[in-house]
Each structure stands twice: as C-alpha cells, then as structure tokens.
C-alpha cells in the first residue's frame, strides 16, 4: 500500500467494551461470558455490555431490567467511574506517545494525527499494531483502530475494526466504501435525519451524495445539507482540533471597485498571507491549514480550505496554499471580486506540535521570523518576499 508521507493520516482509537474489559481485569472468570455494567436499581440503565451479551440484544442506554430479561445468564455489575476515568487518563497518555496531536472525544475514544509519521513508525497498519501492543502492555485492554485520510473516515473505519482490530480506508477508496452503507452509519446522522432522508427515498450514502442539493437543503436545512453532502462521499477537510476550540486568525480586504485580474488578486493574497502569518507567529502557535474567502460581485461568498502537509507558521506555506486555493476557485468561477480574505485555522501550541510531526527544517518559519523583525523596525511595506 502506498501512502505518501505528507498525505493526511488520521487514526481513531476506541477501547472495546471499555467498562466490561476493566472489570474483567479484576475478575478473570468474567472473560468470554456475557457481562453487563450499569445502574443496578429498578431505574438503572446499561452503561455497556460485553460482545457476548450484545448477542442477546443487550446494549448501552437500555434499561437494566430489560437487559436482565434478554440475558438472564449475564453477570450484572455496578459501574466504578473513578476507576474507569483513571484508566482513561493512562489510555490517552499512551496515545500521546505516538502523536502530539491527540484529541480525546470521550472517555475511551480519541483521534490521533499521524500525518508524516511513516519514517518513525512505518506504514499505518504497523503503527496501529504498535499502539495496540502498547495499550495491551500498559493497561491490558483491547482497542480497535480505524485509519483514514480524515477524522470522518477513520471514525467509520473503527466500526469495521471492532472488536480488537484495525481497519483502514484510503481517500481514493472512501466513496465506494461509503456508497452502499445506510445513511445512519454517517456520524452526525441521527434517527430524525434518517427519517427525513427516508421520506425522500434516500437510504444509502450514495443516494445521499447524489441527491439534488435543493432537495437536501429543504429537508435538512441549508447549513446541515451543505455540511453532510460531501461527507457522504467520505470527504472531510476539517483540521483535527478540539471541538468548540476552533480558532483562526484572519485578514481581509474589500475593494472600492471590484477587481478581476488574477495577478492583482494574487498580490493581495500575498499581502494578506503575510499579515496573517505575522499575527500567527506573534501568537506563538502553529496552524494546520489556510482558508480563503472570496466575495463575488453579486455578494455570494465562498470559502475554500486546505490543510498544510505539516503544522506551520511560515508566510510561504500560507501564501502558497492561499494562492493555490484562489487559482482553483477562479477556474471554477471567473468573475470579478469585491472581497478577498485569508485565514489560518486549526491553531495549536507550537512546542508540542513541532517535536514530532514537523520533521522538516522550518526554513520558511525562520525566514518569516526574520522578516517580522525587519517589518517591526521599518514598517510593513519595508520588505516583502519575491513572488515566485
């Protein structure tokens, strides 16, 4: 399997039947048997069930009373949250040994950005095996790992990896892999959206991906429809970052008269990139990607985003990415523009990110720092990199 070192590589790790497996470490007689952990009172609910108990139809959030009826031979245990959260911390700490960018999303689940780690850990499957081995050795628990080009595909892959396995899908395979799956398999589609889509005779992700935009927008609302449609093909360009902590630094220019020349636009993108870059470096953070915003003469506004091969704070990386996005957008819609904006997204602390992922020398960053100092002393217009 070929995978360039710069392609995005996201792992999603999720412990198997977490609470049950912890209990099994203390009582080996529970291994291989139906075990249910949860609230034991009359109003208690199942926290989780072992895979053996799942065969009986027992599942999380079900009433324990119902679970007992479905699986009378199961062992029912109360949960011990303090213990589980202590083990969860150890789990996350092991994951952090493999990547500085680990986003934990629940007690037993996290995303790891493994982009550019091939030289360190070898191919993704091997890296995932290594993680599984360290988790087994460190906390004695089985874990499943989904591997994909983005968070969305990695998450869906974990479902196929479970239990106790690894499953990988590359970006080129993602559309075919997603196509036949029911819409409900797409993270973010709950029972309500499933029903709304079913009313439109949309049952599979392929049908969802190919559905007319207007129809979807009416059924799901415009924002949700626009968000979900590319995801049905396995496309997800969001940088890996804590939800709700999304931060960006941006600069934009509105023109007194609309501009139409591409070289003029590129010049402006360069200035905006340098402005954003200087603010980014001052903030002491690295960005994971850049975005451009274009507003056309008729006020329609688009944004286009792209992730950097490595977290970065150099002007050149921002400018090159923003320029490529501009050129691409202009190919799609050649029209005069009234506003251009450039921003950097997916900001994170520098010290940790540089340590592992950025194995390349940061000449861009160093040069940009030097230019910042000159600009600080002599003003913004004093010096500018040559346009290539």
Catalytic residues: 109
Residues 1-30 that bind ligand TTP (CB under 6 A): 14-19
Show the DSSP H helices in 44-99 as ranges: 51-54, 64-70, 81-96
What the block records as the tokens of 346 is 């997916």
Three-state DSSP at 258 gives strand
Interface with ligand TTP, residue 313, by CB under 6 A: no
Nearest distance from C-beta of residue 67 to ligand TTP, angstroms: 12
Burial degree of 114 (CB within 10 A; 0-12, 13-18, 19+): buried
Tell me the β-bridge partners of 109.
Answer: 14, 106
Q: Looking at beta carbons only, is 64 or 343 nearer to ligand TTP?
A: 64
From the list 25, 60, 171, 384, which residue makes contact with ligand TTP (rule: CB under 6 A)?
Answer: 60
Among 4, 28, 61, 379, binds ligand TTP (CB under 6 A): 61
Smallest distance, Å, CB 119 to Mg ion? 30
Which residues make up the interface to Mg ion (CB under 5 A)?
14-15, 18, 108
Q: How far apart are CA 96 and CA 134, in angstroms?
A: 12
As separate numbers, helices (DSSP H) first and strands (DSSP E) second, the chain gives 16, 13
> Which option in ligand TTP, Mg ion, none does residue 92 bind, with CB closer than 5 to 8 A by kind?
none
CB nearer Mg ion, residue 146 or residue 341: 146
* Both tokens assigned to 112: 């790891």
By the rule CB under 6 A, 241 interacts with ligand TTP: no
Per-residue contact string for residues 96-135; x = within reach of ligand TTP by CB under 6 A: -----------xxx--------------------------
Considering the complex, what minimum distance in angstroms separates the CB of residue 18 from ligand TTP?
A: 3
Determine phi and psi for 162, rounding to 5 degrees: -75, 145
Cβ pair 368, 321 in contact under 8 A: no
Selection from 89, 171, 101, 99 nearest residue 128 by Cα: 99
Residue-by-residue DSSP string for 287-319:
EEEEEEEEEETTS-EEEEEEEEEEEE--HHHHH
Q: Which is nearer to Mg ion, 18 or 178 (CB)?
A: 18
Nearest distance from C-beta of residue 258 to Mg ion, angstroms: 53
52 near ligand TTP (CB under 6 A): no
Q: How many residues in the shown chain lie near ligand TTP by CB under 6 A?
A: 15
Minimum CB–partner distance for residue 269 and ligand TTP (Å): 44
Binding site for ligand TTP (CB under 6 A): 14-19, 47-48, 60-61, 107-109, 162-163
């Amino acid at each position: 399997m070929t995978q360039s070192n710069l392609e995005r590589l996201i792992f999603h790790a999720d412990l198997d039947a977490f609470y049950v497996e912890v209990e099994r470490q203390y009582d080996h007689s529970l291994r291989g048997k139906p075990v249910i952990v949860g609230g034991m009172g009359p109003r208690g609910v199942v926290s989780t069930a072992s895979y053996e108990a799942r065969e009986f139809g027992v599942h999380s959030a079900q009433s324990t009373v119902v679970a007992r009826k479905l699986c009378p031979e199961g062992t029912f245990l109360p949960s011990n949250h303090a213990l589980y959260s202590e083990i969860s911390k150890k789990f996350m700490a092991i994951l952090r040994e493999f990547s500085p960018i680990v986003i934990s999303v629940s007690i037993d689940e996290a995303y790891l950005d493994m982009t550019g780690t091939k030289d360190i850990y070898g191919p993704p499957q091997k890296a995932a095996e290594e993680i599984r081995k360290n988790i087994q050795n460190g906390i004695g628990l089985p874990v499943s790992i989904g591997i994909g080009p983005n968070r969305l595909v990695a998450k869906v892959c974990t479902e196929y990896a479970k239990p106790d396995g690894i499953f990988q899908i590359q970006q080129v395979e993602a559309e075919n892999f997603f196509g036949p799956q029911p819409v409900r398999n797409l993270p973010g589609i709950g029972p309500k959206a499933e029903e709304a889509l079913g009313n439109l005779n949309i049952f599979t992700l392929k049908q969802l991906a190919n559905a007319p935009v207007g129809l979807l927008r009416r059924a799901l609302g415009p924002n949700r429809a626009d968000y979900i449609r590319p995801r049905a093909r396995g496309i997800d360009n969001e940088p890996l970052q804590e939800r709700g902590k999304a931060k960006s630094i941006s600069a934009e220019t509105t023109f007194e008269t609309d501009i139409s020349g591409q070289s003029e636009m590129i010049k402006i993108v360069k200035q905006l990139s340098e402005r954003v870059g200087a603010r980014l470096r001052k903030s002491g953070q690295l960005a994971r990607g850049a975005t451009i915003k274009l507003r056309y003469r008729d006020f329609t506004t688009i944004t286009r985003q792209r992730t950097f091969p490595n977290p970065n704070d150099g002007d050149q990386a921002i400018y090159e990415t923003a320029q490529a996005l501009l050129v691409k957008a202009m190919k799609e819609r050649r029209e005069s523009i009234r506003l251009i904006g450039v921003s950097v997204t997916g900001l994170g602390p520098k010290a940790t990110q540089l340590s592992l992922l950025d194995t390349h020398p940061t000449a861009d960053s160093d040069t940009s720092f030097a230019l910042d100092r000159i600009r600080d002393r002599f003003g913004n217009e004093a010096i500018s990199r040559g346009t290539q």
